[in-house]
Amino acid sequence: MTSREPRRTVGSANPGPREALALRVLFVCTGNICRSPTAEGVFRHLLREAGLEGLVATDSAGTHDYHVGDPPDPRSAACAGRRGIDISGLRARRVRPSDFADFDLILAMDRGHREALLRQAPAEARERVRLFLDYAPDAPVRDVPDPYYGGENHFDETFVLIEAASHGLLAALVRDRRDVLDRSGDDGG
């Protein structure tokens, strides 16, 4: 298993000290090659479009170590790529104990992931573990389905759910964390 710091502050290769960022978000699925890297890529894309790059650090991980060090599944990368989102540079890793201290929000792709994360999380971190599709209340399902064993249409269906939740997450951050986002972007300190 490889170790790495929360990567991918939008617009910067180095996320910097925790207090310099408004928020750190971790997306979690099983092996970190389909759903969670797609969610990370979509959310980063939306942050960039909203002009919030550099304020939110993103990362993704898996509950299992099946694919540590691997790039996203080629079908996930192709699905995102068709929509102008490049996730090819991401590499899979497993959730580590320090993630519960390092991230402000840990978003599980399905209820099984959420339960696995809650079993690992220290008591003080449990409230930060949430179901990703809670940010897409109009979605017809509560879990982002795993497209791994399906065809291209499964990856497209998964992408639509991830995109909806990503828009909802961004809206919630802008609504609920505006004071932090504004303060973080203030050059005056």
Catalytic residues: 29, 35, 146
Angle at 170 between CA 166 and CA 88, to 5 degrees: 45
Q: Are strands 23-29 and 105-108 parallel, antiparallel or unpaired?
A: parallel
User: How many Å apart are CA 153 and CA 136, to the nearest integer?
Assistant: 20
Distance separating alpha carbons of residues 79 and 85, to the nearest angstrom: 9
The amino acid present at 75, given as its one-letter code, is: R
Amino acid (1-letter code) at residue 92: A
Rounded to an integer, what distance in angstroms lies between the CA atom of residue 27 and that of residue 35? 9
* 118's tokens: 């809650």
Instruction: Break the chain down into helix, strand, coil percent, rounded to 5.
Output: 45, 15, 45
**DSSP 3-state of 89:** coil
